[in-house]
Amino acid sequence: MTDRVHVLPGSFNVRDLGGLATADGRSVRAGAVFRSDYPAFAEREDGADVRRLGLRTVVDLRRGTEAAVERVPWEDHGVAYHRCPITAFEKSSWEARYAAYLQDRPETVVEAVELVLSPANHPVLFHCAAGKDRTGLVAALVLSVLGVPEEEIVADYALSADSVVHIVGRLNGIDLYRELFGELDADAQHPHPEHMEGLLAWLRAYGGAERWLLDHGLGADRIAAARSALLE
Task: Give the active site residues.
Answer: 128
Q: Are 34 and 23 in contact (CB under 8 A)?
A: no
Q: Can you tell me the distance from the alpha carbon of 32 to that of 38, in angstroms, rounded to the nearest whole number?
A: 18
Q: Can you tell me the distance from the alpha carbon of 9 to that of 45, in angstroms, rounded to the nearest whole number?
A: 13
Contacts 24+ apart (CB under 8 A), 200-207: 200/140, 200/144, 200/150, 200/153, 200/154, 202/98, 202/99, 202/102, 203/99, 203/140, 203/144
Q: Can you tell me the distance from the alpha carbon of 68 to that of 82, in angstroms, rounded to the nearest whole number?
A: 14
Q: Other C-beta atoms within 10 Å of 65: how many? A: 11
